[in-house]
Amino acid sequence: AVSSVGGGGWVLVSGGSGVLGGVVARYLVGVRGVRRLVLLSRGGGDVGGLVGELSGWGAEVRVVVCDVADRVALEGVVGGLPGGVSGVVHAAGVLDDVVVEGLSGERLRGVLAAKVVGGWNLHEVMSGSEGLFVLFSSAAGVLGAAGQANYAAGNAFLDGLAAFRRARGLSGVSVAWGLWEERSVMTGGLERSDLARMRRMGVLPMSTEDGLRLLDTAE
């Protein structure tokens, strides 16, 4: 569980420049006492305010532009961290909604790269560690979602990856999130009709407080 995070190594947060990445980073440092944190993202992003906040709480924070789907780049990051890695939170993701008839190989690969390839790469760089390993999946992988066959497949893989790790005695938790109240790049385009459709399916917005409470108890 996230509540068991410990050790003096670094904790990697993929998707670290995103809204949920920031939420998780604040939680890990402010609540769980993580003191060495790496925020990974493909494009960087303006996280100066977040870094200042976390540093003020006593954490050493590194911001690294790295696509976790790039195995060589990821290994380079991990190899340059003194003390090694003691945990991973994989919160990276890409959306490219399209009906199945229009789902080209390129659009499939673009979404799967972040979830499937990135998740597997993080698994391999952490394969010798007993540290925290949390995967941010989605209810789309269980319930399905209109126009999101690629995204659903990627998240279903993460659920399977967590089970795969646990069957081998490794840590692994996959949290199939529903809709967060806090708007992000991935949910910012949702219109009222989208939210109404999700409510009819029983998917209601979840507060940050409730989300972190669930994250803390996941195991």
The tens digit of pLDDT for each residue in 148-182 reads 888 889 999 999 999 999 999 999 999 988 877 76
Q: Which two tokens stand for residue 173?
A: 């938790």
Can you name the residues that pair with 38 across neighbouring β-strands?
Answer: 12, 62
The tens digit of pLDDT for each residue in 93-139 reads 887 777 888 888 888 898 999 999 999 999 999 877 778 999 999 88
What pLDDT does residue 81 have?
95
What pLDDT does residue 6 have?
56
β-strand 132-138 against 36-41: which pairing, if any?
A: unpaired
In which element (H, E) is residue 87 found?
A: strand 85-90
Angle, CA 109 vertex, CA 108 and CA 115 arms, to 5°: 100
- Who wins on pLDDT, 119 or 188? 119
What pLDDT does residue 19 have?
87
- Who wins on pLDDT, 191 or 216? 216
Q: What's the half-sphere exposure (Cβ side, CA atoms, 13 Å) at 7?
A: 17
pLDDT band at 38 (very low <50, low <70, confident <90, very high): very high
CA distance 109 to 90: 18
In this predicted structure, the answer to whether residue 3 has a pLDDT above a threshold of 60 is no
The tens digit of pLDDT for each residue in 49-96 reads 999 999 999 999 999 999 999 999 999 999 999 999 999 999 998 877
Fold of the domain spanning 10-178 = Rossmann fold (3.40.50)
What pLDDT does residue 186 have?
55
**What single-letter amino acid sits at 61?**
V
